[in-house]
Amino acid sequence: MLIAGFPAGAWGTNCYLVAPAAGEECVIIDPGHQAAPGVEEAIRKHRLKPVAVVLTHGHIDHVASVVPVCGAHDVPAWIHPDDRFMMSDPEKGIGRTIGMPLMGELTVGEPDDVRELTDGAKLGLAGMELTVAHAPGHTKGSVTFGLPEAADIPPVMFSGDLLFAGSIGRTDFPGGSMDDMLESLARVCLPLDDSTVVLSGHGPQTTIGQERATNPYLRQVAAGQGVPGAPRRGM
């Protein structure tokens, strides 16, 4: 399994390219602000052929490069229907003006082919099976993508802005909900094996075992208690 990731743009959003191996088809996860050059560099370096873009949610820091990346490789983009509107109207997703200098660098809109994600769907892409889990809280349409354990890697969860190393995504943007976030953490994250590698939308990788032991939010959810006072992260 090949997973190539890099932080991109003003928000340092992690973009990932996932393939069975170098020289094969790949899936691109969350090509955000200024991610297109990094995507193309990874494609050249690993001799990859993109077949799809999949999005953990609709915030502009995760979707800003969807149109140019999909257009360059003639591939579809997958997003949950509750977040699809943000592709064309990103400011509605964060409840404030992004800013003219930054907006001037963005390609707002949908690619030619947009497909909608559903909870529990299994996407057969690039010779892999990505399992979709609807995980609202950061946004109404947030999802995670899971890869099963393989011969050379433990199970992997691409968590978007649901779960970070030591923290969780913020819930104060339109469509955010702390109640939904806690329910998603309990339903989506707690059942996973401790060996599951968490590749999030921001920051370093971690594991479910590490977060179960140290993340104040996941510990509180596991204990059936309320919301801890630790800081939250993300755009």
For residues 87-96, average pLDDT: 81
pTM for this entry: 0.92
pLDDT digits (tens, 9 = 90+) for 50-69: 999 999 999 999 999 999 99
pLDDT score for 92: 80
pLDDT digits (tens, 9 = 90+) for 12-44: 999 999 999 999 999 999 999 999 999 999 999
Domains of the chain, each with CATH number or no CATH: 2-223 (3.60.15.10)
SS3 for the chain is: CEEEEEEECCCCEEEEEEECCCCCEEEEECCCCCCHHHHHHHHHHHCCEEEEEECCCCCHHHHCCHHHHHHHHCCCEEECHHHHHHHCCHHHHHCCCCCHHHHCCCCCCCCCCEEECCCCCEEEECCEEEEEEECCCCCCCCEEEEECCCCCCCCEEEEECCEECCEEECCCCCCCCHHHHHHHHHHHHCCCCCCCEEEECCCCCEEHHHHHHHCHHHHHHHHCCCCCCCCCECC
| Residue 101: pLDDT over 60 | no
| Residue 49: pLDDT over 90 | yes
Provide the pLDDT confidence category of residue 100 given band limits of 50, 70 and 90: very low
Provide the pLDDT confidence category of residue 232 given band limits of 50, 70 and 90: low
For residues 172-196, average pLDDT: 96
| Residue 164: pLDDT over 90 | yes
Locus of tokens 């030619």: 112
pLDDT score for 216: 94
Q: Which residue has the higher pLDDT, 233 or 129?
A: 129
Q: Lowest-pLDDT range, 83-97, 126-140, 160-174? A: 83-97
pLDDT digits (tens, 9 = 90+) for 66-75: 999 999 999 9
